[in-house]
Structure 1
Amino acid sequence: METMMLGVYKIPEITINSGIDWLGICGIVLTALIVVLGTWTTIKNFKNTTLSQEAVAEATSNRQFVHIKAENVAKNRQEWINGLRSEISNFISACFDVRSVYLNQSRPTGLVPELFEDFVTVENLERELKSKLIAAQGEARRCLSLIELYINPEEQASIDLVKTAQEIFHRAGDTSFNLTWECDDLVKIAQGILKCEWERVKQMV
């Protein structure tokens, strides 16, 4: 039996490569940068979107506030217009009531004061007319006061309105005073004021 011998002439070298894998590291770093950049972009876009939405919401809120304020002012001015119109109408009516009472006072009753019954009747009639006169004058004075409070004392048209109304009030019982004519002038002045105010209201809404 032949014997075989294996000879080892050189010990094999075991090489351990401990070098750095720069390609792998670059890939990891690049991936991290992409993630960070994506996150930063998302946060920035979210912040910009939030700020934009807040700006839009604030602008909308401001517009609504201005609109509501304008509507409230317009509503108040409309009530002012209606109030002044109503008081001028009531004032004219009260002044004609004053004129009516004065005319009734100057009208002969046809009664004979010498008779006791007629004397009592005349006395009651005079008392009734006096009571009506006081009530009519009081109503006219009330309306005149409201008109004076409604108007702007710095506007010429308002000054003319009050001046005319005061003259009508003081001379309502004077039969020589053309009450109808003066009341027509009062209405014309009031119409100019109300028209001007109505134009202001239309510009607000």
Structure 2
Amino acid sequence: MSSEAVMETSKKQPVQKEIEASSEQKNIHSQDKNLSPIVTSTQLPAISNIEQFEPAKTKAIELSIPKTTELSISTSIDWIAFLGFAITAVIVIFTSRQTMKQSIEVIKSQEALSRDNAKENISLTKSELTASNRQAWINTLRNDLASFIAASNVIWDLHRVKDGRDQVLAELKKPEYAMGELFEWSIKYNSALQNAEQLSAKIKLLLNPNEDKSKILSNLLDETMQVVKNKKDPTSLAQKIIEVSQSILKKEWERVKNLT
């Protein structure tokens, strides 16, 4: 072999070793990726070039975390819609207050009207009651006066009847019959006298003792009773009683008309 051939062979050997070392390193890398057991230094083949050795790289584990959904909230204000809502609310509140105010005014006016009507009704009731009572008083006084005048005439008539019968009974000379007739007459007389006195007292109770006309009428009643007891005609006194009574009744009737 020539020297040139030896030199060429010596040049190829280092290159061949580098290629082999590179292939072994790739095998080691592939074993690391397959998670092979850790290889000690005794198991590694001889490597001529230590600087070309690279330590095994561990596989990086990536965790994939799903992204959360992002919510976008718009904080912008629709001023047109807001103003519309505000105006509507103000109108509703104002209308409600006006309606409430009007309702309160109506209620107050109705209460005032009711009070006025109640007062008017009470006033009318009092007036009507007073008028009714005065009218009843007038009717009672008129009836009692008429009954008193009639009762006084009955007493006067009884006296005249007795005077006429006394003469007849004396001529008959029958004392038993005369006693019977006198007893019957006494009963009638006492009843008529009692009735007249009762009517006189009732009339006086209906009169106002502080009024002049009432005082005059009361005196006429007493005078009439005294006249009939004395067997005198009460006709003139009865006429005076009628005149004074008409004046009193007219005055009371005017009061009743003013009340109604």
TM over 0.5: yes
Given that 1:152 and 1:158 are in contact with CA atoms closer than 8 Å, whether structure 2 keeps it comes out as yes
User: What is the CA–CA distance in structure 1 between the aligned matches of 2:172 and 2:74, rounded to whole Å?
Assistant: 151
Q: CA deviation at 1:155?
A: 0.8
The equivalent residue for 1:95 is 152
SS of aligned partner of 1:111:
helix
User: What is the CA–CA distance in structure 1 between the aligned matches of 2:205 and 2:247, rounded to whole Å?
Assistant: 18
Q: Does 1:111 pair with 2:169? A: yes
Task: Give ranges in structure 2 of 5+ residues lacking alignment.
Answer: 1-72
Kindly report the root-mean-square deviation, in angstroms, between the aligned alpha carbons of the 2 structures. Answer: 2.0
Q: Does 1:49 pair with 2:106? A: yes
- Give the TM-score, by structure 1 length: 0.83
Corresponding letter in the other structure for 1:53: Q
User: What is the CA–CA distance in structure 2 between the aligned matches of 1:60 and 1:114, rounded to whole Å?
Assistant: 80
The equivalent residue for 2:206 is 150
The equivalent residue for 1:25 is 82
User: What is the CA–CA distance in structure 1 between the aligned matches of 2:123 and 2:154, rounded to whole Å?
Assistant: 46
Q: CA deviation at 1:17?
A: 8.3
The equivalent residue for 1:4 is none
Q: CA deviation at 1:95?
A: 0.7
Given that 2:227 and 2:233 are in contact with CA atoms closer than 8 Å, whether structure 1 keeps it comes out as no
Corresponding letter in the other structure for 2:90: L
Q: Does 1:167 pair with 2:167? A: no
Which one of the candidate residues 102, 107, 122 is aligned to 1:65?
122
User: What is the CA–CA distance in structure 2 between the aligned matches of 1:51 and 1:87, rounded to whole Å?
Assistant: 53
User: What is the CA–CA distance in structure 1 between the aligned matches of 2:172 and 2:253, rounded to whole Å?
Assistant: 61
Given that 2:156 and 2:233 are in contact with CA atoms closer than 8 Å, whether structure 1 keeps it comes out as no
The equivalent residue for 1:135 is 191
Task: Give ranges in structure 1 of 5+ residues lacking alignment.
Answer: 1-15
Given that 1:113 and 1:122 are in contact with CA atoms closer than 8 Å, whether structure 2 keeps it comes out as no
Corresponding letter in the other structure for 1:80: W
Q: Once the two structures are aligned, what percentage of the paired residues are identical?
A: 28
SS of aligned partner of 1:152:
coil
User: What is the CA–CA distance in structure 2 between the aligned matches of 1:157 and 1:42, rounded to whole Å?
Assistant: 65
Q: CA deviation at 1:184?
A: 0.2
In structure 2, do the counterparts of structure 1 residues 180 and 17 end up closer, same or farther at CA, with 3 Å as the change threshold?
same
- Give the TM-score, by structure 2 length: 0.67
Q: CA deviation at 1:112?
A: 4.5
Residues 90-126 of structure 1: CA distance to partner in whole angstroms, max 9, x if unpaired? Answer: 11111111111222222243234784xx111111111
User: What is the CA–CA distance in structure 1 between the aligned matches of 2:240 and 2:252, rounded to whole Å?
Assistant: 19
User: What is the CA–CA distance in structure 1 between the aligned matches of 2:75 and 2:91, rounded to whole Å?
Assistant: 29
Corresponding letter in the other structure for 1:195: K
User: What is the CA–CA distance in structure 2 between the aligned matches of 1:112 and 1:74, rounded to whole Å?
Assistant: 59
